[in-house]
Amino acid sequence: MENAGRGTAELLRSLGIKGKVCICCGKGNNGGDGLVVARYLDIAEVPISIILFGQPERLIGDAALNYRIVSKARLPLVCHDDETFDEQPLQRELQNADWVVDALFGTGLAGPVRPPFDDVIRVINASVARVMAVDTPSGLDCDTGEPLGATIRASHTATFVAVKQGFVNPRAKDWLGDVHVVDIGMPRRLLQAGR
């Protein structure tokens, strides 16, 4: 998670940041990746805002650890209840963003995105900001490259270790944008054994 988040932050900086980066985080590991992205952008003095969809006490594992770190570092963070959703605060937050980081759902998503996240995705897609998807655009089946209902339309996707199987589906391009493989330090022999 640390290497994934740091690599994504470095990628964002290499692509150019001309304003605020809004990091939208879910409560799972993908959200944890987003919290790491936020930390490294803050270290680089990039203006950020973090929006966490879900209650902090329901985070587990590395996502919970990274939430505690960004809280203690006093990074700008707003939590939204994932049971209800008022789109106006998110619209206001994204209004002046140069980038939105999609760290809502990762590769473990099974089935269509459920409410209120379908509305969250709709608001992000309606924004004029560039969108960086973390590992895979939220709502995209990474095995087939087909959308599972509401799906993030990314400008760029930072995927980890290797291109996902579904990314070769020509129809996936509309959701992925430009794909960048981010090295997270997986041992070469393990990577070769998985091919």
What pLDDT digit, counting tens, does each position of 4-15 carry?
999 999 999 999
Q: How far apart are CA 169 and CA 180, in angstroms?
A: 16
Burial class (CB in 10 A: 0-12, 13-18, 19+), 190: exposed
Q: How far apart are CA 112 and CA 153, in angstroms?
A: 15
Count Cα neighbours of 46 within 13 Å in the Cβ-side half-sphere: 26
Q: What is the pLDDT of residue 186?
A: 65
190 or 123: whose pLDDT is higher? Answer: 123
Residue 191 clears pLDDT 70, i.e. is over it? no
Residue 195 clears pLDDT 60, i.e. is over it? no
pLDDT band at 189 (very low <50, low <70, confident <90, very high): low
Q: How far apart are CA 18 and CA 47, in angstroms?
A: 10
Q: Is the dihedral of CA 186, 191, 32, 10 positive or negative?
A: positive
Helices (H) and strands (E) in the chain — how many of each? Answer: 7, 7
Q: How far apart are CA 157 and CA 135, in angstroms?
A: 6
Q: What is the pLDDT of residue 190?
A: 61
The mean pLDDT value of the chain amounts to 93
Q: What is the pLDDT of residue 125?
A: 98
Question: For the chain, what is the largest distance between any 2 Cα atoms, rounded to a whole number of angstroms?
Answer: 48
**pTM, to two decimals:** 0.94
- What whole-number percentage of the chain has pLDDT above 90? 79
Q: What is the pLDDT of residues 30-50, one digit of tens each?
A: 999 999 999 999 999 999 999
pLDDT band at 172 (very low <50, low <70, confident <90, very high): very high
Q: What is the pLDDT of residue 109?
A: 87
Residue 194 clears pLDDT 60, i.e. is over it? no
- What whole-number percentage of the chain has pLDDT above 70? 95
Contact 1, 66 (CB under 8 A): yes
Domains of the chain: 2-193 (3.40.50.10260)
Q: What is the pLDDT of residues 38-94, one digit of tens each?
A: 999 999 999 999 999 988 988 888 999 999 999 999 999 999 877 778 899 999 999
